[in-house]
Structure 1
Amino acid sequence: YSLSHPRERARWLKEVLGFLAPLRGSLDLESYLVEVASKTGVTLEGLKMEIYGRGKGGARSAPHAPRGSWEVLYLALALSNPRWWKIFKGEVLEDPLVLSLWEKVKGEDDPSIALAMLDDGERSLLVGKVMEIPEEGMEELFASCHRRAERRALEREARRLKMSMEGVSGEEKGRLLARYIEIMKSIKGAGEEGVYETH
């Protein structure tokens, strides 16, 4: 993750925000890092090193993820407000400071690239403004994100069990089948009616 160019920085932000999506609404930032580490294969310490930078000065201090960037994780929280892009464009909040940031990136229609074109201080300002604005139904949005994450985890386990059953027989297969049926019932219970097939 060398972030010397805005598009590389945007790609990193996109990946992080994608991994964090199921955890929106939680303020446990350490959990965010654990989740990102598990999805990227980067160790937790390695990820922290990327976020905090590789020390001050010396050959190792090439550009990395923004220094001290718990901010990127707060950004993920701010982006869970579905109106943030409209706020940034001044359609919801006519704030002169926010509008001045929008002028800086005007013409860029990819939100993550637009964010990457701002410096850390500007992004902090935008995050603060977005988070000041309450959004009706946010509780339900967060709950929905968690439910989707739980269903995806159950579906992954069901696929793994199905593959495992192909290579075994007897008591072991019975045990795996019982667990598989239990998981499929949970998926059916967690999903909307008719969305998940259980065969």
Structure 2
Amino acid sequence: MSRKRSERQQAWDKFGLPKAGAEALTRYNQEVRPFRKLCGARTKSTEDHRPCQNLALAGHDRCRVHGGATPKGDQWNLTQWPNGKAPDAEAKLQAKLKRIERDRKAKAKRLAAMSPEERQRYDQRAKTHAPGPAAERARRRDDRKRAAEIRASLEKPDDKPASAELAELQRQAAALEEARDHYRRLAEQANQDQGVFG
């Protein structure tokens, strides 16, 4: 026994919209979809781990399910705010703020539960793995590498005694490095203290 179709369904049938929609979908699947990039992830549910068949999001290598919507590049560590022009922007903003506060409390709880040794390792890693643009992180890595090379060369025993001029230059270089590190720490603290709305 067939169910009675609603007035809306009858109107769709009357104007041939189901047929037009099916034709448009068929045309898309034949002419457009084969040329779109597929997600590069592999399934876990099958033994042969076939590639995911979803379409990758624009500008990404993954579909929405496998992380394609995750920010990347210089924006990976920044909070992604909802579109302010959307009709439900206020509700989305409130939900985002609640989620940020919940995550902040969870992080504080995790840090409070750490032993002093774990907290020291965490703080040390936070200093060397600060978020930011890739170019800035590469520059910091190069600075650390150069500083280590300079320290190693200065610690090498030298056959010739250091001149007073060289000793003065080394003292000035150490003072400049200390001042540079101090101002970098101040800049990082200023960036962290900007608050939710940056």
Query: After TM superposition, is the score higher than 0.5?
Result: no
| Structure with greater contact order relative to length (CA < 8 Å, sep ≥ 6) | 1
State the TM-score, normalizing by the size of structure 1.
Answer: 0.28
State the TM-score, normalizing by the size of structure 2.
Answer: 0.28
**Larger helix fraction of residues:** 1
